Structure 1
Amino acid sequence: MASPQKEALFALIDEMIDAEVDVTKLRQHYPELKCNAIQKRFVRTFGSYHQGLVEYGLCASNGVPTDVEIARCFEITEDYAVITNEYQAASLRNLYALTEVEFVRLSRPIVDALWTDAIDEMYRDHFPFETISAEGLAQQFPHLRKHIERRYGAFKKLLSAYKTPYDRFISREHCGKAARMGRDFERKLGVILTAIYGQTAVDEDFRFNGCLPDFVVNGRVWIDAKLSRDTVRDKRCKTIEKYRPYAKSLRIYYARGSLEPLNISGVAIQHVSVLYPLLKRAGRHELVEDMESFVERVQTESRYWRVA
């Protein structure tokens, strides 16, 4: 014997049938608000509206849409976004008496696959990328960012999956911007070092045996500025290899990357923020704010498309 709650909902189905309502297609008869209210009552009692119809005796118990039917509820736009075809989705939900939650759960793997297809379409449409750079892609299709990161981990890994050299994506304009940021960081670091150690203690024109560090402090500490933490770890970077044999003390400060310090061959590689306490002690809070703003800008502009 059915519970009182089920009997009440069976009676509701009887009333709708008597009113000539097609109970398998509620949205053709009722506004969305009322449809949702009815389906929620069934969800609380039966687990789903469709299960309520099954127990009433109207529907077969295997009423689940196929992947192809679900895929028809979505489409990939010209700018490679996956959007819902609301008319198709509503029709499918009505056909199988699915709640919004059930529809989302069933469609999630289909939507994920469609985002992968969208990324693939973007890649194939723009290859060999002669007219647009990686930075341009990020600006033109920002909605692809999180899906590339979730699917591949990073844009560079996407390129690796397609066996495409990363250098192809670094345009002259992008390299120029990275170079300008690098020079800005070097200049700002010089101002910070001067504020901390004093004008006479910071030498910006030091040369020794072919070495040209960005700064030498108090005649013994060699300091080099790198825009990105990753630059130091790049095998093409020879700074440590070249300077270490001659420097009594070598330090490298960077603006972009993890705050976790590195130590390579005894050389301290640190985020510029380690200098903030010394600046504050010197009363130069405005330099801290200026560098924080710069670091935020660098991180934002290079978050997705790696700064070289």
Structure 2
Amino acid sequence: MVRILEVELVQSDLDAGMSVSAIGRKYGVHHETVRRFIKRNSFEDYVAFDEIEYHAIPPVLLADCFHIDSPYKVVPNEPVCEYVMRNFNVDMPGITSLADDYRSDLEREALSQFVADHSPDDLNNAALTEYRHIVHYIYKHYGGFDNFRAYHNISVPLVEYTSSLNRSYFARMGHRFESMLHKSFQVIGSPVSTTYYQDGCLPDFVLEDEWLDAKLSKSTAFNRGCKTIEKYTRHTDYLTLIYAIDDMPDDDIPDLPEGVRLVHVFDYFPDISPGLRDEIQTLIDEVSARKGRTVKTA
């Protein structure tokens, strides 16, 4: 249950040696909410986010908290993470943050393994989109497919390749739309997290206790292969899917679980800047033309 944060109570918790994460769990709010509350109220004795406790975790132990699993995905090493949480008073988001450099190294290693295990002819969109996290790693560490191809000396285009041309195009546009949403959050000053990970879930954005995911088309969330709603609602009570293209009548939308919203990008950001709105509208128009159909836009 969410409780209201009060200065005296939170100060008392800090004086008792509670970490920011523990205080967040106590009051039923995200640790970033607690951190902002502390900064807003100028707590004098505040020690930044578990600093003392976290520094006691041996680096070699942090490095072992993540590993590469069979589909080239960097995931928590659960026995090690459980040991660290039990003995160092840290939660999983804290481990994820502290081990960020180690995870990044593993993600780049996973990409190298992926390239080594596939012939150039197999490095097409079909191979990439089988593993959504591979595309995420490429954009995270190389900024896009072109830099990734250049680094690994791949001459065959990964994105627009033979029969996978259309699917790869829409995947690329989906990532571009996600980047536009990130820019929109930055413009309005919303402190969203883009690196939150929990039990196999990697939402595009986390804003306090709300998870948000970008969907290029309204219908994407209901494709047979899309498990976003099913997976994410196991871990959050508030899930918002922000889409660009309205390609599905409202009457065809299945009943959504409580706490799940499906919102058009211009409804979510009604006061977006004209320049950014035009940029998003251009993407909508281009993708709609590629789909070969007339779709509703805001």
TM-score with structure 1 setting the length: 0.38
For normalisation by structure 2, the TM-score amounts to 0.39
Q: Which has more radius of gyration?
A: 1
